[in-house]
Chains A and B, each alone.
Chain A
Amino acid sequence: MHGTELPRDAVVPHPLELSEHVAEARRHMAVCNACRYCESYCAVFPAMAMRRDFAAGDLTHLANLCHGCKGCYHACQYAPPHAFGINLPATFAEIRQESYAAYAWPAGAGKLFERNGTLVSLLAAVITTLALVLVAAIKDPSVLYAPQTGPGAFYRIIPLWLMNLLAGGTFLFALVALTMGGLRYWRATGPGAGAKVTAAPAAEAAVDILTLRNLGGGGHGCNDMDDSFAMTRRWLHHAMFYGFMMCFAATTTGAFYHHFMGWTSPHAFLSLPVQLGTWGGVLLCIGTAGLMWVKTTTDPVPVARRLLGGEYAILALLFLVSATGLLLLAVRHTGAMGLMLALHLGLVLALFVALPYSKMVHGVYRSLALLRNAMERRAAARAAG
């Protein structure tokens, strides 16, 4: 069984070895693995059933596989106030956060996950203020407040090279940091770290990621608010995720138009980049606002309240990025465009800087957990013949 393939733990202790949440999750697993009523809820429970021993790496894997749907909590005969006090969603959320901190790159940056809400909010505030102040200080008011139209209107406010440098630089840094974190997580967590990743489990994981299958609760949804089932969180997350991707596609298309077609922004409303950005922005606004609403109204017991600050902060930042993007579109032919552009780009910059040290990193670890899960399931199916 997998529990025995853990020589790496003997050499280098897992970073979460001494975590009290890991100890608590181990206690939970002893109960859950003897009960197994939740086996049809999500991927966590079949993955748990494959194990008898729960090393810190196994628990980190299971915690990151958990989507926080809360189905297991509301169905639990041992949930508080029962003496066993089983509350997997909250326990796993704490371990996830600890794993984000443990694998953050560069080493030491994990501290940024403490008081994460304050950090993300401060970053957003400082960077947007800087952007506004700098633009206002450097630009002649006659340019800044005058309506700018025609090709290159945006660049008369903030030069293209500066945009490229700041946005490209921070985004590349975020990519490197996320990749490094992901690699460290993959090596240190759970079994099979050395196994070769093949196309089939990768495709399976991709489907899980793109459809959020594990937020389906076995077909009828999750306990978004209370013990009733809904697909609300799944759809809101879809809106946010695909909205984000459309905005990203808008930027990429814009860059392509600029560098390869020689078409300079602002583009027409019906052009591809503006359409992608507009609808992506709308979806992103709906998704992030909706998810914040879910967080404020849901049953608070199966939630790790300590982590809510960081979660609200990143959702709010994403909302502001998309909302200012939409406002920029609305006012781009008026004198308010200059300030709105500075505000929007300031927020985008803050998002990129905060990205590797925010809830956003869950995308990387959750995806890797789903990939590992797909590989494990195949290995188990092969072993069973």
Chain B
Amino acid sequence: MSMPDFNRIWNVLVVGGGNAALCAAITARRAGASVIVAEHAPLPMRGGNSRHTRNLRALHPAPTAVLTDSYLEEEYWDDLLRVTGGKTDEGLARMCIRASQHAPDFLASCGVTFQPSLSGTLSLSRTNAFFLGGGKALLNALYRTAAQSGIEVLYDTEVQHIEAKDGFATEAIVSHHGFPERIRFRALVAAAGGFQANREWLRQYWGEAADNFQIRGTPYAQGRVLRDLLDQGVQEVGDPTQFHAVANDARAPMEDGGLAMRLDCVPFAIVVNRNVERFYDEGEDVWPKRYAIWGRLIAQQPGQVAFAVTDSQAEFDYLPSVFPPYKADSIAEVAAMAGIDGAKLERVVAEYNAAVRPGTFKPMVPDDCRTEGLTPPKSHWARRIEKPPFILHPLRTGITFTFLGLKVNERARVMMADGKPSANMFASGEIMSGNILGQGYLAGFGMTLGTVFGRIAGEEAARHARN
């Protein structure tokens, strides 16, 4: 590959290399702008958290080739309102929901292929369109389209600082394969994700507990551009202490373990902390609606660790885990394998078993198998844990992304702390997700947000640069 031209002034610099960045870059290029993309990761690890994604949530009034039935604005909005507990911006959210209808077609125009809608057991096939092969296949298609359309993509290029004055940015100081360079531009799209992989930053809010969090996605989400822009007077949005997190296998790598590390066993188990105490209703609701609270719950436990205990009856009720669970013929033995108090776990299981009421077990819907007189209760899928081998999965918090972000308006334009819009800075993706996701998460919404705001940011940046 030839040396990139660091002397020219590009119409648009896109910072980041995930779906939000590429959607912005391709849109800006299609609008006639010259575009350069600075991706921190090297080529094989490109794409930020998009590499680990699988689908996007799209409004659709009627069945399409990739989505069943229909999913309309009000239902979508209700879903979003419920998960965020109202911590959202209705105007931005509804605009994003309406625009999501065209997201699958846009991605398809960039070569992205979707799975046919009627595939097997996926309960999300009504609301979410699945990328064939997942997020990395999507990224491959987007990068191919970018290359074909003449976008300059720089890998292993970290943007360290944006030169900006009064909300007007002119150039970026970058580290290109370790060498300092400058990229000059007319408009900027910040699509560099959250700061979840920056432990030092997380420690500011979580102390030493931050060292026990697993980062599910890219290790390149260091939040450098986010920090840099916030320090230069961009308005902040979202709770800096909060993040989206799930229950991960405790033995997963500390970074980049991706989706396959999450464990779905919770509703079919009881979960205790390091002190062998239950701390939350494991059967509160169906897993797709509850999986995202368990990362937080575990983060609040001593040592940020928990243990899901079940028996051989449940083995096929949830997806298999990458790391085999501890298995033994007695509760005490399986507790010993995990290094927790066996005698106490036997008592906890016995108490739980005694509280289980008879019912008809239905794994996919909230059934009538519940406990009585137990604190906390288990509201559904409560079966006695009695059939060896007993199974134990150790759990830790796996962070997907942080909620702190840059404030934007409906044209993806970055807002300054004084309430004025930036002249030439735009943002898309996780770096601005806090505008809509004040808390909680809706499966597939991150990719929707990245695609919708990526397109808007690309369009606006190109418009600004070419005027």
State whether the Cβ of B34 lies closer than 8 Å to any Cβ in chain A.
Answer: no
B447 to chain A, nearest CB (A): 14
Query: Bound complex: CA of A218 vs CA of B131, how far in Å?
Result: 12
B256 touches A82 (CB 8 A): yes
Contact A33-B320, Cβ < 8 Å, known A40-B116, A82-B256, A83-B253: yes
Contact A76-B144, Cβ < 8 Å, known A30-B322, A34-B322, A52-B316: no
Which residues of B49-91 are within 8 A (CB) of A? 51-52, 54
B259 touches A227 (CB 8 A): no
* Chain B 443-463: CB-based contact to A (< 8 A → 1; otherwise 0): 000000000000000000000
Query: Bound complex: CA of A228 vs CA of B120, how far in Å?
Result: 26
A88 to chain B, nearest CB (A): 13
| Number of chain B interface residues as a range | 20 to 34
Which residues of A191-226 are within 8 A (CB) of B? 218-220
State whether the Cβ of B119 lies closer than 8 Å to any Cβ in chain A.
Answer: yes
Q: Hey, which chain A residues are within 8 Å of B315, CB to CB?
A: 52
Query: Bound complex: CA of A52 vs CA of B321, how far in Å?
Result: 10
A30 touches B320 (CB 8 A): yes
Q: Hey, which chain B residues are within 8 Å of A138, CB to CB?
A: none
A218 touches B132 (CB 8 A): yes
State whether the Cβ of A171 lies closer than 8 Å to any Cβ in chain B.
Answer: no
With both beta carbons as reference points, the residue of chain A lying nearest to B321 in the complex is identified as: A34
A45 to chain B, nearest CB (A): 10
Q: Given A34, A77, A83, which contacts B136 in the complex, CB threshold below 8 Å? A: A77
State whether the Cβ of B301 lies closer than 8 Å to any Cβ in chain A.
Answer: no
Looking at the complex, which of A67-75, A109-117, A358-366 is the stretch in contact with chain B? A67-75
* Chain B 128-164: CB-based contact to A (< 8 A → 1; otherwise 0): 0010111111001000100000000000000000000
State whether the Cβ of A376 lies closer than 8 Å to any Cβ in chain B.
Answer: no
B316 touches A75 (CB 8 A): no
Contact A75-B137, Cβ < 8 Å, known A33-B320, A34-B319: yes
* Chain A 49-92: CB-based contact to B (< 8 A → 1; otherwise 0): 00010000000000000000001101111111111000000000
Which residues of B73-115 are within 8 A (CB) of A? 113, 115
| Number of chain A interface residues as a range | 20 to 34
The DSSP consensus for interface residues of chain B is: loop
B133 touches A78 (CB 8 A): no
Query: Bound complex: CA of A46 vs CA of B261, how far in Å?
Result: 20
Q: Hey, which chain B residues are within 8 Å of A75, CB to CB?
A: 132-134, 136-137, 140
Q: Hey, which chain B residues are within 8 Å of A293, CB to CB?
A: none
Q: Hey, which chain A residues are within 8 Å of B209, CB to CB?
A: none
With both beta carbons as reference points, the residue of chain B lying nearest to A53 in the complex is identified as: B320
State whether the Cβ of B45 lies closer than 8 Å to any Cβ in chain A.
Answer: yes
Query: Bound complex: CA of A38 vs CA of B135, how far in Å?
Result: 11
Query: Which residue, of A1, A31, A52, has the highest number of chain B Cβ atoms within 10 A?
Result: A31
The DSSP consensus for interface residues of chain A is: loop
A87 to chain B, nearest CB (A): 12
A78 touches B132 (CB 8 A): no
Query: Bound complex: CA of A78 vs CA of B130, how far in Å?
Result: 18
A34 touches B134 (CB 8 A): no
State whether the Cβ of B398 lies closer than 8 Å to any Cβ in chain A.
Answer: no
Q: Given A37, A80, A82, A227, which contacts B134 in the complex, CB threshold below 8 Å? A: A37
* Chain B 302-332: CB-based contact to A (< 8 A → 1; otherwise 0): 0000000000000110011111100000000
Q: Hey, which chain A residues are within 8 Å of B260, CB to CB?
A: 31, 34-35, 78
State whether the Cβ of B16 lies closer than 8 Å to any Cβ in chain A.
Answer: no
A34 touches B320 (CB 8 A): yes
Query: Bound complex: CA of A229 vs CA of B111, how far in Å?
Result: 10
State whether the Cβ of B419 lies closer than 8 Å to any Cβ in chain A.
Answer: no
State whether the Cβ of A9 lies closer than 8 Å to any Cβ in chain B.
Answer: no
Q: Given A36, A77, A80, which contacts B51 in the complex, CB threshold below 8 Å? A: A77
Query: Bound complex: CA of A285 vs CA of B196, how far in Å?
Result: 56
Q: Given B130, B136, B253, which contacts A76 in the complex, CB threshold below 8 Å? A: B136
A42 to chain B, nearest CB (A): 11
Contact A74-B132, Cβ < 8 Å, known A34-B321, A40-B116, A82-B256: no
Jot down 28 A-B pairs with beta carbons below 8 A, ordered by A: A33-B319, A34-B320, A34-B322, A35-B134, A36-B319, A37-B135, A38-B133, A39-B119, A39-B120, A40-B115, A40-B133, A52-B320, A71-B133, A74-B136, A74-B137, A75-B132, A75-B136, A75-B137, A75-B140, A77-B51, A77-B52, A77-B134, A78-B260, A82-B45, A83-B256, A227-B140, A228-B144, A229-B113
Per CB-CB distance, the 7 closest pairs between chain A and chain B, nearest first, are: A75-B133, A37-B134, A227-B140, A75-B137, A35-B260, A34-B260, A40-B115
